[in-house]
Structure 1
Amino acid sequence: MRQDIAAPLRDGQQGALLPRNSRTKRLPGLTVVAAAVAIAWLIHSLAPVMPFLTASVMLGILSANLPGISTAVEGVLKPGLVLSAKRFMRLGIALLGLKLSLIDVAALGWKTLAIVVGIVLLTFVGTLVLGKALKLPGDQPLLLATGFSICGASAIGAMSGVTKTDHRDTVVPIALVTLCGTLAIAVLPALKGPLGLDTVQFGYWVGASVHDVGQVVATAQTAGAASLAVALVIKLTRVLMLAPMVTGAALVGRLRRRRTTKGTDDAGIKLPPLIPLFVAGFMAMIVLRTLGILPPVVLDVAGTVQDLLLAAALYGLGASVQVRSLLQTSGRAIITAMLSWGLIAALAFVGVHFI
């Protein structure tokens, strides 16, 4: 099965060398992805409390576990789903940079910026240590740490692209960060009163602790426009950490690869790039947004395209989640995720009182 799944990716790298029938194998999966994205958009339109990207992940999980559909997901639809999960994710992350302006980040002030960066780093390290202490397999500790500390499923997709993690190994972190982010939409507003947070403090807390941008919007808007505005700026500041964190992981990967190949004939061995192309694109988009040279209509269109690309990618990732296997084999990952969620919520709550 692994060979069948990897084939579409190799085909995609060869471009024009592809046989026509290999490219057409992706069409059924891509057609279903497009339909699922449309349905997710409709769900979000009818129930705005459900973020668009969260709806896409959940539809993917349903597709992988409903009788009948699940067979097609593992069969004829697989090539298109894999392409969506890999390529669309990278394109969407690059365009995500257009939502970030360094001017808005600088306006927070050095103290707030330092607190937000501290929350991200402490959550990342804490989750990584927890995952390793609980002996989670493979890259799960790293992916969970990235998702919970930065920006949820999008960050997991970015990090897995650098570490070359098989997309099937990302399903547990994706599922858990989506679950916790969705729970936050209901849990955090209920705690606003008991914790004595005013509207602005609540926005800070949500922006610093909730994972996905859409989940931040759904959670913060319950306290009004002022809370939402603050939450978005804080959240996008966390997203800014994606580039250095992923680049750092790429650097560690290069150093490890050099160490393991030292003293051997490493001719033909390709080291992972220090700055992956999609991360370079992400940083370039941040610069464009900061310079203010793009008209609002271009930013609006790019924002819509970015949402659609990430929704398609997350549907593809969600379609890899087998709920029965997740429940049977991921008890330690669930414990790690819940502890990480509690850690970032606690750190953000403390940080609110120093901002």
Structure 2
Amino acid sequence: MKSIKKLLPGIIIAFVIALIATKLGEIMPIIGGPVFGIVIGIIINNSMKKPKLLDEGVTFTSKKILQWAIIVLGAGLSFNQVKTTGVESLAVTVFTISTAFLTAYVFGKLLKVKGDLKTLIGVGTAICGGSAIAAISPIIEADDMDIAYSISTIFLFNIIAVLIFPPLGHLIGFTDKAFGLWAGTAINDTSSVVAAGYAFSNKAGEYATIVKLTRATMIIPISLIFTAIMAYKKKKEAEQNKEVNYKFSKIFPWFILWFLVASVLNTMGVFKGGSIHYINILGKFMIVMALSAIGLSSDFRKMVKSGIRPIILGLIVWFNVAIVSIIVQFITGQI
């Protein structure tokens, strides 16, 4: 009971911020609740400094509730929805994801962007923006500042994409399907994919949304790859320093396993009718709560010290992914 009392103040403040951020996200969907949550949290923490009594609850929300949110979102994902589209878009998805990681690694080194931030920008661009960053950050033990900065960077290019992709698509002469595949693989956040897709046409919007769902399933293998990398690093560290206690079960991201279980249950039809709609709403709200807590833990001065290089990296990764998506479609005869 005592520990719950310690957690409650921080959880409540994150909950209240999330309510405000979600409402603002509904009014301005291109920006979205997660970005509003982070920004409000950062403003509060850096203008008035949050009281100590909030610390435990804020940390709990940014870590545990973040993981629970990923599991809940899994329950809203059906593999049946992505089966056919997944086969059609597989080549483009594989090449764009590979491009994102390779570009983030190479140019991240050249720009001297630190490891975790470089990884999160690559993951966010490769898969599905904030949700992918939320899934990978606990695995690589990223700090809150890197999470906040990477999501802010991804958000910037989402906005640009929503504004320039539809007119560019018409200028290039894309079909509805080609544009939907381009938007679904080269824009990060789901709301931005939907906005750009439907701005082009209804058919493009429908196809882009399903492509985006297909791309979101890549969270599972990518998470397992990062788990294997972290396990190898921890094992090496334990071999060099006998005081380090290495246990694979401790570093394994069990929440990703439960994400997969929840997705399988949904695919099997366990969750009926309108319940899936409410599951998605709950999962997204929990993400906003967790990101609000991350904002409350972020030091804006430290973010500023990182400079413009992570944003330049985000631009390079995003541009390369957009170009590769078009090239692969052209080679495979989809354009």
- TM-score over 0.5 for the alignment? yes
Moved more, 149-158 or 172-181: 172-181
Q: Where do residues 1-355 of structure 1 align in structure 2 (5 Å cutoff)?
A: 20=2, 22-65=3-46, 67-68=47-48, 71-72=49-50, 75-108=52-85, 110-262=87-239, 265=242, 268-271=245-248, 273=250, 275-353=252-330, 354=332, 355=334
1:187 and 1:62, CA in 2 relative to 1: closer, same or farther beyond 3 A? farther
How far residue 143 of structure 1 moved from its aligned partner, in angstroms, is 1.6
Q: Contact 2:148 / 2:298 at 8 angstroms: preserved in 1?
A: yes
Q: Contact 1:105 / 1:113 at 8 angstroms: preserved in 2?
A: no
Counterpart in the other structure of 1:5:
none
Q: Contact 2:26 / 2:32 at 8 angstroms: preserved in 1?
A: no
Q: Give the TM-score normalised by structure 1.
A: 0.84
Amino acid at match of 2:190: V
Return 5+ residue gaps in structure 2 as ranges: none
Amino acid at match of 2:122: A
CA-to-partner distance for each residue in 1:234-278, whole Å, 9 max, x for gaps?
Answer: 111111111111111111121222223337646843346574111
Q: Contact 2:42 / 2:299 at 8 angstroms: preserved in 1?
A: yes
Q: Give the TM-score normalised by structure 2.
A: 0.88
1:323 and 1:317, CA in 2 relative to 1: closer, same or farther beyond 3 A? same
CA-to-partner distance for each residue in 1:53-84, whole Å, 9 max, x for gaps?
Answer: 3333333343344x33xx22x64433332222
How far residue 229 of structure 1 moved from its aligned partner, in angstroms, is 1.4
C-alpha distance in structure 2 between counterparts of 1:94 and 1:58, whole Å: 24
SS of the residue aligned with 2:129? helix
C-alpha distance in structure 2 between counterparts of 1:263 and 1:306, whole Å: 41
1:179 and 1:285, CA in 2 relative to 1: closer, same or farther beyond 3 A? same
Identity of aligned residues (%): 25
1:215 and 1:321, CA in 2 relative to 1: closer, same or farther beyond 3 A? farther
1:226 and 1:51, CA in 2 relative to 1: closer, same or farther beyond 3 A? farther
C-alpha distance in structure 2 between counterparts of 1:263 and 1:46, whole Å: 53
Moved more, 125-134 or 320-329: 320-329
Q: Contact 1:172 / 1:321 at 8 angstroms: preserved in 2?
A: no
C-alpha distance in structure 2 between counterparts of 1:139 and 1:195, whole Å: 36
How far residue 181 of structure 1 moved from its aligned partner, in angstroms, is 2.0
C-alpha distance in structure 2 between counterparts of 1:264 and 1:64, whole Å: 37
SS of the residue aligned with 1:77? helix
SS of the residue aligned with 1:296? coil
Q: Contact 2:139 / 2:251 at 8 angstroms: preserved in 1?
A: no
How far residue 126 of structure 1 moved from its aligned partner, in angstroms, is 1.7
SS of the residue aligned with 1:288? helix
Q: Contact 1:64 / 1:321 at 8 angstroms: preserved in 2?
A: yes
Amino acid at match of 1:200: K
C-alpha distance in structure 1 between counterparts of 2:162 and 2:39, whole Å: 15
Amino acid at match of 1:167: D
Q: Contact 2:144 / 2:295 at 8 angstroms: preserved in 1?
A: no
C-alpha distance in structure 2 between counterparts of 1:82 and 1:337, whole Å: 27
C-alpha distance in structure 2 between counterparts of 1:64 and 1:187, whole Å: 34
Q: Contact 2:144 / 2:298 at 8 angstroms: preserved in 1?
A: no
Q: Contact 2:220 / 2:260 at 8 angstroms: preserved in 1?
A: yes
Amino acid at match of 1:312: M
C-alpha distance in structure 1 between counterparts of 2:296 and 2:279, whole Å: 26
CA-to-partner distance for each residue in 1:284-303, whole Å, 9 max, x for gaps?
Answer: 12211222232123212211
SS of the residue aligned with 2:75? helix
1:224 and 1:84, CA in 2 relative to 1: closer, same or farther beyond 3 A? farther
Amino acid at match of 1:338: L
CA-to-partner distance for each residue in 1:88-110, whole Å, 9 max, x for gaps?
Answer: 21111112223332233221263
1:177 and 1:75, CA in 2 relative to 1: closer, same or farther beyond 3 A? farther
Moved more, 262-271 or 281-290: 262-271
1:47 and 1:163, CA in 2 relative to 1: closer, same or farther beyond 3 A? closer
What is the number of residues matched between the two proteins?
332
Return 5+ residue gaps in structure 1 as ranges: 1-18
> Where in structure 1 do 4 or more consecutive aligned residues deviate above 6 Å?
none
RMSD of Structure 2 on Structure 1 (CA): 2.5
Amino acid at match of 2:38: V
